[in-house]
Every structure is written in structure tokens, then in C-alpha cells.
A and B are shown apart, each in its own frame.
Chain A
């Protein structure tokens, strides 16, 4: 039953993630013809913009926060500036194509988005604690401290609260979803590299133990 529910959320999430590709009216694919190099160039640049979006805009909030907006070029440019100011690591040379992608995909005169409907129970699935006793061995926060300093701090900050490339990890729901946590550490995610050849399961568990120990009230 629980897995059914997760599967359903998965579908909703996937549908939301598809949105940027399917944005109506100004679609990325429409108008592209084999013999039209300008249109091809444009499609290519928009696709690059979409990649910049995925790599830099989905670590603090899901894509809906962005794809449900319908904004003017000025408003989109201002949003991107605001988010860079708030910690989004958009490389300066990719900023323009990101803004152009957002303008083209979610214009102020675009069709209104269709919002998903979920029960509160289902809507909280992505953040609900999911105990998984077998996902990782039990960890040691003291060993974890050294491992985080060595492998994670460059991106997530020495205190785990966010740094040059990564977001805050303290008091995050993923700390109580050990299977997901282990998966992210193994495989990496977008701009985060996988650590499967760097850290043992025990070491991954130690990093988790440290992050959890920093999350409870002192």
C-alpha cells in the first residue's frame, strides 16, 4: 500500500518534471526543421538552458515552484538574480541561456499550469520519514565528522548548512529516509558526484549519523 502511494507520487513528480519539455505554445521542439539551422540552433540553446535549470534550480525546491510561474522576461531575469543571490550556483556564463529558457518556456501569456491534486497524506510522502533498517549499518557521528569535513564540506559547508555548490543538509527529511540517503551517496545527484567508490556503506552511515546529531536541539 505504502509503495503504491509512493509510486503514484512518483508519477506525479515525473509529470511535473516533464513540464519544461512540454510547455505549450512556445515549445522547444515546434518549428524545428531539418533545413533550418537557425531554429536548430535555438532548440539547442534552449536545451542547454534546460540543463542549467535542472542542475541549479532543483536542490532547494521542486520544479513546480518554477514551472507553475508565468512571468515576463524582466520578472524571470529578476527571479534568477534573486535565486543566485540566495545560493543557486548558476555558472555566470550559463545565466543568459537559463533566463532565455525560462522566458521561452513559462511566458506571462502562456497557458495556465494544471496543478496536481493530492491528499495531504500523499503530498507529504516525499518528506515523510521512511525507516529502512537494512539500508545502512548504524553510524558513528564522531567518525562522520571527519568524513564530512573531508568529502562533503567543500560543497555543503563545514557545518553542513550549505556552501559553494550544495544546499543545507541539517534537519532535512532525507536524513530520516536512509534508503534515499544511501542512494544519493552512491549515485550522486545532478551536480553532486556519487561516492560509491570513495566511501564504504559504513562511512556513508557515519556521515548520516553526524548530520543527524547536528539536527537535534542541543
Chain B
């Protein structure tokens, strides 16, 4: 996130409020909206089919079918799952989070310690950097996600900044290394060690989440505690968090130095560029993107009024416009709906009088940087940041 694009700080709220559950917790966080709670949003979606697309069973890599992503809040059991080595089989008992490195006082916090700190809640999109990898041609190795390695949930917990302040960050610190409890399967396999620049760590919207949609964070989603870095690809939002280390340099190792890098020219607006002379830069900010969640690909429809609906999000900044084109005709502006919170997504819809016959629907989003989804996503060898405009074909008759 660029320095000037910091979203407003989430207002603190007490642990009591969290316990009451989100339904009754009006004013819980930064993002007051009128209407239903995330829990009831989630409830609606639950009515539909429940299945995820399984890319890999162990460790679990599972994608949400795009037609199940139409709600503003994605329910927990529909939310995509990405694991590098799998959830550590330890359980939350005796969980400790250590903060060390370039700090005044290395500390170790328990989950109770964290629960006693200021609690914040906010909705945020998490999207795998490789969402859409399976759509790139030629093929690239890695989980071949199509569209659904993304979801919008309400995360609650403590600000990372507050935790770092307790340890006292020394002046020389530039990066925060993030390490989870998921052990690599072999000593030769690199640990999933990641880092974020201190500036991003101190951003008041970067949190350590212990709850998701008001529930204790489930283990498959990183419970009992994970990082949530809004606006950035989800590889920064390290799961099963155990160690925070402050350092002068970025994290060493494969997952920071080799993985999650793209050619410089691809870097989307709002990215942090560590080394302006390098050919590749870390994938950081998400780029602007939309999905058509209704109708689904190949769906048979009756002639007449059809609601074309979907979701749209971006990295730092906001979604300013979503447009829909039918049969490659003129772009028509859809209505953006739902709460607007930076780092979260918008739902959108457009009514369409569908005549009989086969039709193609396309949607494209534009953000406050003036970026619009491209016709083609630039190929890169790891398949990151796909955001090309897609086509959904339907049969009306």
C-alpha cells in the first residue's frame, strides 16, 4: 500500500462486544453499515449448494465455485482454502505468539493476552496471488485456480501495530517476518516464511485475526490466529501465526525471495517496490477485478428480465465502476451495492431483458487509480494477478 492510501483506522471496540456476537454488535468496527449482520449474509448463502472445488486434498487447496460468491460476506465453509503444508495438528491449547528481533523487549503472548487487548473488526477480501492461474495460456505449474480463490469475510482480532508497540520496535527495523506453525514436510523444503514492510505492518488495518465472521477462526483458515493484510494478495496473510521477527531486511528464503515475484511492469498501482532496479518485484497489492456470480457459465435462462450480478474489488483504493457488456455490445454501468470499505469488495447488479438465443456476458471493473480490467492478463511464469475481462455464455430459451 502506498503511503498516502492508508484507509481510516478501525475504531476500537471491547472484547465484550465481540462476545455478544456480531449480530448484536452494532458499532463494533469501522465499517458501520445498515442492514443485516455478516452472520445473516452468510446464512442466506448457506441455502445454496455447499461444495468446494478440490484442487488438492492433502494439504487442502479448495476453490469456491464462482456462483457461490455473490454475497457480500462469504460464509466460512464456502471460503476458499489454500495450504502450503497443511494445518499443524496441535490445537489451540498453549498457543504462543513470540515477538522478537529488533525490539526493545522480546515478548511472548498467549491467546488470552491478545483477547485482553483492543479488539477491532473489519471486512476484507483475501485472494490468492495465483487466483486465475489456471486461465493463463500457456499453462504454468502450481494450483490451477480458476476464479474462486477469493472471498470476503469479516475478520476480527487485534491490530498488528498494537502488538508490535508492546514489544517496542527499534528504529533500524524495516520489515516484519511472519512465520506460522505449519512445519515444512522435510528439512530441505523451505519454511513458509514471509515478510511485510514495517510501514504496512503499522497500518491500522493490518490485523492479527482470531475470529472470522464472528466465529473463532477455524484451523483450516489459519486458526487460532492469522495475519490479515487487507488490499494485498493473501500470501501475506500468514496462517497459524507463531513468530513475528523485526528485521532490517526482507525475510530470506524461497517463499519471499523466489516465490511471489513478478516482472516489474506488471506491478499494480499501490505496490510496494523494494528495489527499483530489480527486474522482478514482490507481488503485493491486488489489482482491480470483478466476477460475474450470476448467471453461471452455461446456465439456461428464461427469456425476460434477468439479473446479472457479481462482486468487484481492488487493492488500495476503491472500486468506482462496474460495467457489463452483452454480446460485445456497449458497456452499461451496473449498480454498485453493499457497504464500501477499502480492502473489502462491492456487490453489483444490472437488470437485463434477455431475448432468446445464446448470449455472452462480460463485466469489467474500474478503480480509483483509473485502472480498468484488461482484455488480456499479461502472462507471467508463476501465474499471478490474473484479472482479464471474462466471458460467461448463457442460453436463453
Contacts and interface: CB of A to CB of B under 8 A. Distances in A.
Interface in B46-95: 50-60, 62, 65, 77-78, 81, 85-91, 93-95
B336 interface: no
Contacts of A75: 139-141
Contacts of A168: 183-187
Nearest to B53: A115
Contact of A115 (B55, B138, B141, B181): B55
B89 A61 contact: no
A78 B57 CA distance: 23
B58 A62 contact: yes
Nearest to B78: A120
Give chain B's interface residue range (CB within 8 Å of chain A).
Answer: 35 or more
A65 B190 CA distance: 18
A33 to B, nearest CB: 32
Interface stretch (A44-52, A121-129, A145-153, A202-210): A121-129
Contacts, number: 137
A123 B54 contact: yes
B89 A86 contact: no
Interface in A23-52: none
B96 interface: yes
Contact of B58 (A126, A175, A217): A126
Contacts of B143: 65
Interface string A44-71: 0000000000000001111011001111
A181 to B, nearest CB: 12
Interface in A160-181: 161-163, 167-168, 170-173, 175-176
Most chain A CB within a 10 A radius of its CB, from B58, B62, B88, B184: B58
Contacts of A108: 138-139
Contact of B138 (A72, A116, A119, A175): A72
Interface of B: 50-60, 62, 65, 77-78, 81, 85-91, 93-96, 138-141, 143-144, 181-190, 220
30 contacts: A13-B57, A59-B185, A61-B59, A64-B56, A65-B56, A69-B141, A69-B144, A70-B139, A71-B141, A75-B139, A86-B189, A87-B185, A108-B139, A115-B53, A115-B54, A116-B54, A117-B51, A119-B52, A119-B77, A120-B52, A120-B81, A123-B57, A123-B62, A127-B60, A127-B89, A162-B189, A173-B86, A173-B87, A173-B89, A216-B94
Interface of A: 12-13, 16, 59-62, 64-65, 68-72, 75, 78-79, 85-87, 108, 115-121, 123-124, 126-127, 129, 157, 161-163, 167-168, 170-173, 175-176, 215-217
